[in-house]
A = this chain, B = another copy of it.
Amino acid sequence: MDRPELKDAIARLRAAAPLVHNITNFVAMNATANALLAIGASPAMIDAIEEVADFTPQAAALVVNIGTLSRDRLASMECAAAKASEIGVPWILDPVAAGSTPYRTAAAMTLAQLRPAVIRGNASEILTLGGDARAVPKGVESVHRPEAARAAAGRLAVALGTVIAVTGATDYVTDGRRLAAVANGHPLLTRVTATGCMATALIGAFLGAGLAPFDAAVAGLVTLGVAAEIAAAGAAGPGSFQVALMDALYRLDDAIMTARARVQ
């Protein structure tokens, strides 16, 4: 991490303590809020159509995650995302399980057009957003390796004017021009639910702290990856790993990040 912007990413996040507005799924809500609190952000989960347009402008960033989609929730997501783009609140899209049903694919496509600063997904989801109709995931899990979606991610980033993060064993971040590979992480992340959602929310927190989208995406993925490595060292399985992950996020600082980041 030789980019100056990332050297003090954690310190900037903690100083800003950004209010992050999340419209996320029911599986991830609690874990996402706890990850955001652990890293130093201030999460709020507010999703009623009656109030999202009033709330988003108060936030430093918006996180939209389609995990447990419904007609009402999609309407709130579209409303909040449009508002965020209109007034300059950076927002991130997590197109969970895009490709698994026509409804879900269409919802992800619609939201992707509303100018998110970042889109984070697994390879199958990003391939789906790129128009590959054969990229059907296995539920919420990718059936493709992230390398398979790297080229599609670059094209999609240019087409949408956004940053795309494709996550997997190695994560790739691209704006169509630059490409970063993040090799931090641990296989236990795949045995705890909502860790992809946490990655998305952490990127949202760095957006809220004022980092540029490309830097925020790299910082968020390195943060989760390094915390996971620390947590896995003492874990007996996914239960103790998840507990240690929250502790590690809380204790992380820029010195640890700089020493352990594996970014190319």
Indicate whether A50 sits within 8 Å of B26 (C-beta atoms), given known contacts A34-B193, A44-B140: no
> B43 contacts A68, CB within 8 Å?
no
Q: Which residues from chain B contact A29 at a C-beta distance below 8 Å?
A: 26-27, 68
Q: Which listed residue (B72, B139, B235, B249) contacts A44, Cβ 8 A?
A: B139
> A244 contacts B239, CB within 8 Å?
yes
> B101 contacts A51, CB within 8 Å?
yes
- Is A194 an interface residue, CB under 8 A from the partner? yes
User: Cα distance A22–B223 when bound, in Å?
Assistant: 31
- Is A54 an interface residue, CB under 8 A from the partner? yes
Q: Which residues from chain B contact A141 at a C-beta distance below 8 Å?
A: 42
Q: Which residues from chain B contact A191 at a C-beta distance below 8 Å?
A: 37-38, 250
Q: B-facing mask of A75-111, CB < 8 A → 1, else 0?
A: 0000000000000000000000100111110000000
Q: Which residues from chain B contact A247 at a C-beta distance below 8 Å?
A: 235-240
User: Cα distance A167–B139 when bound, in Å?
Assistant: 29
- Is A184 an interface residue, CB under 8 A from the partner? no
Indicate whether A237 sits within 8 Å of B38 (C-beta atoms), given known contacts A103-B50, A193-B33: yes
Q: Which listed residue (B71, B235, B243) contacts A50, Cβ 8 A?
A: B71
Indicate whether A48 sits within 8 Å of B103 (C-beta atoms), given known contacts A30-B27, A33-B194, A139-B58: yes
**Shortest CB distance A191–B (Å):** 5
Indicate whether A44 sits within 8 Å of B236 (C-beta atoms), given known contacts A30-B193, A51-B103, A71-B50: no
Q: From A55, which residue of chain B is reached at the shortest CB distance?
A: B101
Q: From A27, which residue of chain B is reached at the shortest CB distance?
A: B29
**Shortest CB distance A124–B (Å):** 13
For the side of the interface on A, what is the size category?
35 or more
User: Cα distance A33–B247 when bound, in Å?
Assistant: 21
> A45 contacts B58, CB within 8 Å?
no
- Is A67 an interface residue, CB under 8 A from the partner? yes
- Is A25 an interface residue, CB under 8 A from the partner? yes
User: Cα distance A188–B251 when bound, in Å?
Assistant: 13
User: Cα distance A46–B248 when bound, in Å?
Assistant: 31
Q: Which residues from chain B contact A243 at a C-beta distance below 8 Å?
A: 239-240, 242-243
User: Cα distance A244–B67 when bound, in Å?
Assistant: 27
> A42 contacts B239, CB within 8 Å?
no
Known contacts A51-B104, A55-B101, A240-B247, then 7 further A-B pairs from the complex at CB < 8 Å, ordered by chain A residue: A27-B29, A34-B242, A45-B67, A58-B138, A239-B244, A239-B245, A239-B250
